[in-house]
Chains A and B, each alone.
Chain A
Amino acid sequence: MPSLSRLSLLLVAVPLALGACKKKPPVVTPSAPVVAQPPAPTPTRTETPLPPAPAPTNTGMDVATMRRLMLETVYFEYDSDVIRADAQSSLEKRVPLLSANPQVKLRVAGNCDDRGTDEYNIALGRRRAEAVKKFLTDRGIDGSRIETISFGRERPAVQGDNEDAWSKNRRDEFTITAGGDMLKSPS
C-alpha cells in the first residue's frame, strides 16, 4: 500500500511540475529561460527527488530519472543485512519500474565497512545483496533478473576510519546489466 500511495503522489507531482514549467515561459522574457535552464540539469541528478522532466514521455518519468531510481544505492546498519526504512522506500519505488521493464536485468553488489575480516565481510556483503534480491522478488520481480555479488570491504565508496565513512560504505550498489537502453515509464 505505501508503494501505491507514493507512486500516485509521483504521478500527480510530475504533471504539476510540468504544468509549472509550461506556465512560466509566457510570463518571463525570452532571455530568462536561457539563463535559468543550464543549471537545472546538474541538480536534477543528485538532489531533487522528482525534477521536472526535460524530455518526458507522455505518462511520466524520463529515462534519466528512471535510471537514477533503479540505481539508487541503499544503505545498511552496522553488521546488518536488514533493509532499513529508507531503503524500503527506495526499493519500493523501483518495483513498478522493473515491472514495466521486464527486459531489465540488475546486479546487486553488497558492500561493507572495513571493520572485521575480509572474509566475514564477503559473507556479510552477500547477505546484503541477497536481502535486496529477496525484497524485490517478494514484490513480484523475477529472481532470474537479479544477480547478486559481494565485494566485502574491498570497494569502499569513501575512505575513512569513522562512522561517517563507515555508514557510506555499508551499502548495496546497483548496475543494469541488460535492457537498460529502452526504458518505459510505468503507466
Chain B
Amino acid sequence: MPVIQLNINTAKISVMRAVDARSRKSQLVRVLTLSTLFVAAASIPANVRAQSGVVLGMCYGGGCDSKQHIMVDSVRGAGGDSIRTIISRDLDNSDRFVVISPVGTPGSAGGPLNYPLFLSFGVNGVIEASVLPSGWLHVELHDVGLKLVKQKQDFPLPGLPGNRDWRLALHGVSDSIEEWITGQRGIAQTRIAFVRDGRVWTVDSDGWGANPITPRGLSPKWTPNGRAIVYNILDDNGSPIMVTDIATGAQKALTSLHGAQDYAPSVTPDGRSVLFARNTPDGTDLFTMPLLGGTAQRLTAGRGRASGSPAPSPDGKRMVFASDRSGHQEVYISDIDGTNVDLLTTGGFGERAWRDSPDWSPDGRLVAYQGATSERGAFQIYTINVRDQFVKQITGDARNDDPSWAPDSRHLVVTSTRGGNPQLWIVDTQGGKARQLTRGLSSARGSSWSPRLTGAP
C-alpha cells in the first residue's frame, strides 16, 4: 500500500521527540522545523528512527501536527486479511492519516502490544481487531504513546465476508475509528452515483461494486437520507424527473409534462422538495416541487436564457445555480425561492469565462464548481468561499467536470480525463491528492456523492 509519499515541494522535515506519555495526549511533539530547502535533496525515508526517543518524520501540506501515523495490525478470524486491507485503505483514503504498512506484524500475535516497538516505527496509533464467534468485529484503538487502549467497540458485520452489506458495514467501522482519532467521522461508508452508458450507477467509496441501478438516466443526486436517488430521463416523448428507491429498485416519474424537458434535479436538505431545471419555449428555468409529487412552482424567470444545475445550501435556505443570463455561464446564489439573486463567481472584465455545475459543501463554507477561463480552455475544478469569495483552484491536469462534495466537506468526486477517457476521480481539496474511483472503456461522469450511509439499504 502506497501510504507514504514524499512531496519535495511541500515537505517539511521535523525532528520529533517522544515526551512523557502521561503529560500529553499527543505523544509526539514537533520540536524543530527545518527549512524546505534543507530537505530538497533529502533521500531520508520517512519515519526513520533517529535515536532513542526521537523520531524523524516527514509531513506534508496540511501541517506536521495534523496527521497521525496509524497501523492496522493483522486481524484474527474469518476474512481477517480483507478486513485489514479494507480498513487500512479507508484510513489512507481519508487523507487524514499516514497509514504505516507493517512489514510482518510487529508486536501483537495475540499477546500484549509491544508499544516501544511501534513507537520506534513512528506509529501513534494501532488498530487491533478480531472477528467474534457471532461474526461481529471487535476493534481496539491503541494509543502507542499512552500505552493503552484508547477506545474499543464491537461492530456488527452483516452478510458474508466480502459481500455488499458486509463491506458497507466495515467501511462504517473505518469511519468510527477515524472519529475516535480525529473527532470527525470518516467518509468511507458512502457511495457515489454516476452516469455510464446512459444509466445511473453507484459505486462504493473505495471503487468496489460499480453497478447500474436504473435502466436509463442522467444527472443523479442522492436524497438526504441516502435511500433514494433523483435523476432524469432524456426521452423522445417527455423528459421527466425520476426517483429510484435503492432498496427496492423501484423507478417513479415525478414529472411527466409533455412538451417540456425537466432535468438536473436536486433534493432540498429536508428531503421534501426537489429543485430542477425545465426547458420551455421561453427558456430554461428553475422549478421546485414536492418530492412526493404535486405542482411545480417556477423559481426563476429566464426570459430566453437558461438557469440550471441548482444545488441547495446545507441549511436549505439558499441555493446556487448556473445561468447564462449575463451572456456567459456563471454561478449565482439566491434564496431557495429564487429571490435575492447575486452573482457568486465572476472573472475579469471582458473575460470569456465559464462557470458551471455548482455544489455547496455540507459544512456550508464553500461552493465547488467547474470553470474555464478561455473559450476553449479545459474545465478545471475550483472552490469559492461563500463568505469572502476567495477562489481556490483544485485541479490542473486534463479536463475536470462535475464536482460533488463528500460529507466531510474536504473531498470532491469529479469527472476527469487525466487517466485517458473520462472517469471519476476523488480529489483531496486540502492536500491535492487524487485517486481514480472508476475504470473501464465506457466513460463515467455526472457524479453525486451520497450522504453517510449508516444503515445498509
Chain A residues with a Cβ under 8 A of chain B: 78-79, 115-120, 122-124, 126-127, 130, 147-152, 154
A175 to B272, CA, bound (A): 39
| Cβ–Cβ contact A118 & B259, under 8 A | no
In the complex formed, the residue of A with least CB distance to B263 is A122
B214 at the interface (CB under 8 A from A): no
| Cβ–Cβ contact B309 & A119, under 8 A | yes
Interface size class of B (residues with CB under 8 A): 20 to 34
| Cβ–Cβ contact B329 & A120, under 8 A | yes
- Closest Cβ of chain B to A161, distance in Å, is 8
In the complex formed, the residue of B with least CB distance to A163 is B376
- Closest Cβ of chain B to A157, distance in Å, is 16
B284 at the interface (CB under 8 A from A): yes
* Cβ contact of A130, chosen from B234, B281, B356, B375, cutoff 8 A: B281
Q: In the complex, which residues of chain A have a beta carbon less than 8 angstroms from the beta carbon of B446?
A: 117-118
| Cβ–Cβ contact A119 & B264, under 8 A | yes
For the A-B complex with A116-B379, A118-B445 known, give 9 more contacts whose Cβ atoms are closer than 8 Å: A116-B354, A117-B446, A118-B218, A118-B263, A119-B308, A120-B308, A120-B329, A122-B234, A149-B236
In the complex formed, the residue of A with least CB distance to B354 is A116
B320 at the interface (CB under 8 A from A): no
- Closest Cβ of chain B to A113, distance in Å, is 11
**A154 and B198 contact, Cβ closer than 8 Å, known pairs A122-B279, A123-B279, A127-B306:** yes
* Cβ contact of A123, chosen from B277, B281, B375, B376, cutoff 8 A: B277
B401 at the interface (CB under 8 A from A): yes
A115 to B399, CA, bound (A): 9
In the complex formed, the residue of B with least CB distance to A124 is B306
A140 to B445, CA, bound (A): 42
| Cβ–Cβ contact A154 & B309, under 8 A | no
Q: In the complex, which residues of chain A have a beta carbon less than 8 angstroms from the beta carbon of B306?
A: 120, 123-124, 126-127
| Cβ–Cβ contact B195 & A118, under 8 A | yes
- Closest Cβ of chain A to B15, distance in Å, is 48
| Cβ–Cβ contact B236 & A79, under 8 A | no
| Cβ–Cβ contact B261 & A150, under 8 A | yes
